[in-house]
Amino acid sequence: MDVRMRWHLAMAAAGLALVGWLVWAVGHTEPPPWPVLLADLIAVIGLAIVPWLVIVGRQLTRVREGERLMSRVVVTVAIFAVAGPVLGMLALRMFDQDDSTIALAVAMMSMAAAGIIALVGGVLVPGLLLLVRTLARERSARVRAEERAEVAAHLHDSVLQALTLIQKRADDSRSVRQLARSTERELRVWLYGAGPSEAGDDLAAAVRAVCEETEDRFDVAVELVAVGTCPLDEPALAVVGAVREALTNAGKHAGVRQVSAFVEASDGELLALVRDRGRGFDPGLVPADRRGIADSIEARIRQHGGTAQVRSSVGAGVEVELRVAR
Amino acid sequence: MRVFVVDDHAVVRSGVRAELDGTAEVVGEAADVTGAVDGIRRLRPEVVLLDVHLPGGGGRAVLAAVAAELPQTRFLALSVSDAAEDVIAVIRGGARGYVTKAISGPDLCEAVRRVHAGDAYFSPRLAGFVLDAFRGAAAGELGLDPELDQLTRRERDVLRLVAAGFTYKEVGAKLSISARTVETHAASVLRKLQLSNRQELTRWASRHWP
């Protein structure tokens, strides 16, 4: 508590004491002439309330809405404090020079109103506001601390562990890549959620799982873009199965580290595209006993009234396009 | 081409510098919003590679500060971020493309060239975000005018193929149109995205990618 604060408090205490004295004086002494009474009133109410206003106001100026509230209160109080006596004096001049009771009553009521407004609007309400804000700030600080602890725990479990393993296995580039990929996946899901399909049992989630499985089995990175999703009904399951087969083929035969997959569930159709820029093959030269593409991709999709196209030529990669109506 | 790189990781900045070597001259770097705004104002680069997440307000703050006063400077967003909200926000802030940091060197050079030429560059991920944003059900929430702001069938086809990892040239060949026409479609998608109602889009994105 600084010196100024102490002065304000002392003044406020003196003001309160004076209020007590005023109340006693009204009851026990003859009323003085009205200008004296008015001046007394202004001094006492001012001394009892202004220091509090200043104390609260100094803290409030740090809060934007507080500043606005404070200036409004000050203006309103000033209007009441000035308007009452002015009206009283006007009334005195215009009507009756001798009887000053009505004018005095108006002035006093207005002064009292100013005091009450100052007390409620300038001290009580802002005080409550400050209290509520302090509590809210404390709560959010606690929440932040908890979140930080959770982040730290998570980073330790995933990222730190992976980094340690990567240092240990630095010579085994394949397992380093795999570790980096799976850690990245995990961290991504943790940071941003799994996307629109967090429930886990829809088309997008199933395809994502298939892509992750392929990445782990074949040391390739699958860049998946999924747009929209739908429940895993029969046609959707067929698409997932065919995509898995297409990715498996790419992982096994393409000889590249990057495969792209696109899956879209729109109102009328499921569309999946899987492509790699790898070795490719000549579709005319596939031996009849190699049934992967024919059974696992084409037959599966055709069974649900869809179309499957596998386009490739030697050196130009493979492109699989699946369409099934819903 | 004079390129300015904004990223808070020195490793990423030097990686980008190495990958652009031979394609573009990196005239400056910055690690935060203030440094980026100062550097871009001073050096007036032709292309700015802009990290979405930056200390001091993110790529969005850089765009808000300098994009309007330097119409000759093009911005390409570069990030590991997967959050659609952030990506869509920098695109709407004026970036002409978005690539992830996993992008290969040649692809990055291609993206910089394209953006430098005033074209749009859609990475597969951005194409996916945009397709999602314009999907039938979402368009209503977005406050898009169903007549004016829908993607045309052709634009949708182009975006699908980009999302599936095809280059613009391959997309053109597959759709039997010229690469230039693919460019035109991409530019018109970018325009639609930047003109639609900002708040609606942000609200939509934050609901779909928590």
Identify the band that residue A42 occupies on the pLDDT scale cut at 50, 70 and 90: confident
pLDDT of amino acid B210: 44
* Structural Rg of chain B based on CA atoms: 16
The total number of structural domains that make up chain A: 2
Identify the band that residue B157 occupies on the pLDDT scale cut at 50, 70 and 90: very high
Collect all residues of chain B within an 8 Å Cβ-Cβ radius of residue A313.
none
Q: Does residue A205 sit in the same domain as residue A311?
A: yes
Q: Does residue A132 sit in the same domain as residue A225?
A: no
Q: CB A39: neighbour CB atoms within 10 A? A: 12
DSSP A223-247: EEEEES--B--HHHHHHHHHHHHHH
Q: Does residue A137 sit in the same domain as residue A205?
A: no
B25 lies within 8 A of chain A by CB: no
d(CA B5, CA B51): 8
Residue B158 has pLDDT above 90, yes or no: yes
pLDDT of amino acid A96: 62
Q: Does residue A206 sit in the same domain as residue A309?
A: yes
Q: Does residue A18 sit in the same domain as residue A101?
A: yes
Whether the model clears a pTM of 0.80, i.e. scores above it, the answer is: no
Collect all residues of chain B within an 8 Å Cβ-Cβ radius of residue A198.
210
Identify the band that residue B137 occupies on the pLDDT scale cut at 50, 70 and 90: very low
Residue A155 lies in a domain: no
Greater model confidence, B73 or A182: B73
Residue A154 lies in a domain: no
Q: Does residue A103 sit in the same domain as residue A233?
A: no
B156 lies within 8 A of chain A by CB: no
A268 lies within 8 A of chain B by CB: no
**pLDDT single digits (tens) A252-308:** 888 898 999 999 998 889 999 999 999 988 887 777 767 777 778 888 899 999 999
pLDDT of amino acid B202: 59
Q: Single out the residue in A111, A127, A143 at which a domain terminates.
A: A143
Site from A225, A258, A270 to mutate, B interface, most B CB atoms within 10 angstroms:
A225
Mean pLDDT of A100-116: 76
Residue A10 lies in a domain: yes
B135 lies within 8 A of chain A by CB: yes
Q: Single out the residue in A108, A143, A178 at which a domain terminates.
A: A143
ipTM greater than 0.85, yes or no?
no
Contact call for A227 and B132, based on CB within 8 A: yes
B17 lies within 8 A of chain A by CB: no
The mean of the pLDDT values for chain A is 83
Greater model confidence, A56 or A306: A306
Residue A27 lies in a domain: yes
Q: Does residue A126 sit in the same domain as residue A229?
A: no
d(CA B30, CA A197): 37
Contact call for A221 and B82, based on CB within 8 A: no
Q: Does residue A320 sit in the same domain as residue A221?
A: yes
d(CA A52, CA A119): 8
Residue B146 has pLDDT above 90, yes or no: no
CATH for A292: 3.30.565.10
Residue A67 lies in a domain: yes
Residue B132 has pLDDT above 90, yes or no: no
For chain A, what percent of residues have pLDDT higher than 70? 93
d(CA B172, CA B183): 9
Q: Does residue A122 sit in the same domain as residue A211?
A: no
Mean pLDDT of A122-142: 85
**pLDDT single digits (tens) A157-202:** 778 888 888 888 888 888 888 888 888 888 877 777 655 445 568 8
Residue A131 has pLDDT above 70, yes or no: yes
pLDDT of amino acid A197: 46
- Boundaries of domain holding A133: 3-143
Identify the band that residue B30 occupies on the pLDDT scale cut at 50, 70 and 90: very high
Q: Does residue A139 sit in the same domain as residue A253?
A: no
For chain B, what percent of residues have pLDDT higher than 90? 48
For chain B, what percent of residues have pLDDT higher than 70? 85
Residue A210 has pLDDT above 80, yes or no: yes
Greater model confidence, A11 or B42: B42
Residue A291 lies in a domain: yes
Most confident of the ranges A68-77, A139-148, A180-189, A285-294: A139-148
pLDDT of amino acid A222: 92
Name the E strands within B36-149. 47-51, 74-79, 97-100, 121-122
Residue A11 lies in a domain: yes
Q: Single out the residue in A78, A112, A143 at which a domain terminates.
A: A143
B160 lies within 8 A of chain A by CB: yes
For A194, the closest chain B residue by CA position comes to B209
Parallel/antiparallel/unpaired status of strands B74-79 and B97-100: parallel
The set of long-range contacts for A205-209, using a CB threshold of 8 Å and a minimum separation of 24, is A205/A229, A206/A232, A206/A236, A206/A237, A206/A240, A207/A239, A207/A240, A207/A243, A207/A261, A207/A263, A207/A272
Contact call for A267 and B127, based on CB within 8 A: no
Q: Does residue A134 sit in the same domain as residue A253?
A: no
Greater model confidence, B46 or A118: B46
Residue A320 lies in a domain: yes
**What 3-state class would DSSP assign to A318?**
strand
Q: Does residue A208 sit in the same domain as residue A282?
A: yes
